[in-house]
Amino acid sequence: MLPAPAAGAVAECVPVPPTVMLHARQAHLNNLPRLLDWLAQREYTPVTYRSLWDCLTGAQPLPARPAIITIDDLTLVRGSGNFAFIARMIDVLLERAVPAVVGIITQPVVVCAGGRLVQLQEQDDALWDCAAGWQARGIELATHTTSHRNLAEAGITPDDLRYEICTSAELIAVRTGQPVHTLLLPFGNGAIDSQAGRLRASITEACRAGGIGIVVGVAGGRIPLEPAPAEARPVYFVGRVGPMADAYDGIFWEIAHWYH
Ligand SMILES: [Zn+2]
């Protein structure tokens, strides 16, 4: 729990919780119960980025030994290719009342017959109803951008960034009635220096405009975070690790050695 800072004192920094990045992969679904057992046996308490934000802005302390589980790339458009699979992963979490964060690509670009690229825009009401139900049971819905564009791409403009970040966050908020606070960066790209936790200024600005306070990369992002009042609209960069494609067990070592 965060100690109440004395007048004039700087509040204690908050460590970035160890964070796991999962995708809609068979090995990630198959090993999810084992991951949850492993965390529980070591007395980790899964939380969400929303909880981290509440802690940083002074609204609520984090539990001891927090950890975060994230799942990327969910789509809720008509013809979603991964909803059913990710829903099975969410069911494993909900069965044990474990909170987690899911990153949504709101208008994904897919390859059609003949290699043609098509952006799917028609949202599926039934899938959104289901996702809103998850949210009510502790799953945080984060944006993973509108089209999963690389936000560090050369030539990307502030308008592009607002379209990718703010438009997707707004769509999720409109669909669920809950504001979005977290951006999972596509490909983990967007920091100037991920070890130092420094985001590109243009991404920070777009996030601030869209009400996003936590930006999640992959590498780095483990420097303890300085609390700030929500009115200051801080934008934090944090990192995470994913299991290797063919060596899932490495993730346990990664979590155990997160702070080393
Ligand atoms: Zn992704």
Q: What is the pLDDT of residues 185-223, one digit of tens each?
A: 999 999 888 888 889 999 999 999 999 999 999 989 999
Residue 70 CA to ligand 1 center (angstroms) comes to: 11
pLDDT of 251: 95
Q: If residue 87 lies in a helix (H) or strand (E), which one and from where to where?
A: helix 83-95
CA of 159 to the centre of ligand 1 (A): 21
pLDDT at 6 exceeding the cut of 90: no
Ligand 1 centroid vs 184 CA: distance in angstroms?
8
Residue 247: the pLDDT is 83
Residue 84 Cα to ligand 1 middle (Å): 17
Burial 57-83 (b: 16+ CB within 10 A, else e): beeeebbeebbbbbbbbbbbbeebebb
Question: 148 CA distance to ligand 1 centroid (A)?
Answer: 6
Residue type present at position 69? I
Determine the distance separating the centroid of ligand 1 and the alpha carbon of 234, expressed in angstroms: 24
In this predicted structure, the answer to whether residue 252 has a pLDDT above a threshold of 80 is yes
Centre of ligand 1 to C-alpha 10, Å, is 36
pLDDT digits (tens, 9 = 90+) for 31-65: 999 999 999 999 999 999 999 999 999 989 999 99
HSE, CB side, 13 Å, CA atoms: give it for residue 11: 17
Q: What is the whole-number distance in angstroms between the Cα of residue 50 and the centre of ligand 1? A: 20
Ligand 1 centre from 222 Cα, in Å? 20
CA of 73 to the centre of ligand 1 (A): 5
Residues in contact with 35: Cβ distance below 8 Å, sequence separation at least 6, in sequence order: 20, 69, 251
State the distance from the centre of ligand 1 to the C-alpha of 133, rounded, in angstroms: 23
Ligand 1: centre distance to CA 103 (Å): 8
Pairing of strands 191-193, 198-199: antiparallel
Is the confidence at residue 1, as pLDDT, over 60? Answer: no
- Domain assignments of the chain as residue spans, ordered by start: 19-251
Q: What is the pLDDT of residue 3?
A: 53
4 has a pLDDT exceeding 70: no
Confidence of residue 108 (pLDDT cuts 50, 70, 90): very high
| Contact (Cβ atoms closer than 8 angstroms) between residue 189 and residue 151 | yes
Q: What is the pLDDT of residues 61-107, one digit of tens each?
A: 999 999 999 999 999 999 999 999 999 999 999 999 999 999 999 99
The protein residues having their C-beta less than 5 angstroms from ligand 1 (an ion) are 72-73
C-alpha of residue 209 to centroid of ligand 1, in Å: 22
**CATH class of residue range 19-251:** alpha beta
With cut-offs at 50, 70 and 90, classify the pLDDT of residue 10: low
Q: State how far the Cα of 48 lies from the Cα of 67, in Å rounded to an integer.
A: 8
- Chain mean position to CA 151: 15
pLDDT at 69: 98
What is the whole-number distance in angstroms between the Cα of residue 43 and the centre of ligand 1?
29
pLDDT in tens, 136-195: 999 999 999 999 999 999 999 999 999 999 999 999 999 999 999 999 999 999 988 888
